[in-house]
Amino acid sequence: MDELYALESPLQILLVTGVLGGGAAFLAGRAIAQTWRPFWNVLVYMAMLGAAVRFVHFALFEGTLLSPASYAADTLYLIIVGALAWRMTRATQMATQYYWLYERTSPLTWRDRGADNENPVASANSPR
């Protein structure tokens, strides 16, 4: 950790990278999924957000601006948070908007409704 963040304290790292950067990554990942963009957009936006987080470390706490190891660590954390938000939102979208095709199995996954499961749309329209 000393090589990654030589001039920042653990509290500064937690505040800037963890709270501010992580919150922005979560909101960005959710926004990317809500607009039905593919996952690779998360990688692009988190790379840019990683540069912004490095700049905040530099501007507020006199951290090293051009530190490849710190940028990589920050960006990896942001990618993980952004990907988690993207997947949670996409699972919600699939289960909500296509409820006759998919059902939610966990906060991050969904599955096809099987042929053995009754289709709610078809059963509501069929005569009894």
pLDDT tens for residues 59-116? Answer: 988 888 888 989 999 999 999 999 999 999 999 999 999 899 999 999 999 899 874 5
Residue 115 lies in a domain: no
| Mean pLDDT within 5-33 | 91
| CA 71 remoteness from chain centre | 18
**29 domain residue, yes or no:** yes
Residue 120: the pLDDT is: 53
- Residue 114 placed within a domain: no
Confidence of residue 2 (pLDDT cuts 50, 70, 90): low
- Token pair for 124: 């509501």
Residue 61 located in a structural domain? yes
In a domain? residue 116: no
3-state SS of 55-98 is HHHHHHHCCCCCCHHHHHHHHHHHHHHHHHHHHHHHHHHHHHHC
Q: Is residue 2 part of a domain?
A: no
**Residue range 46-65: average pLDDT?**
91
8's CB contacts (< 8 A; 6+ apart) are 16, 57, 61, 63
Per the structure, the complete domain to which residue 79 belongs is given by: 10-96
Specify if 52 maps to a domain: yes
* Domains held by the chain: number: 1
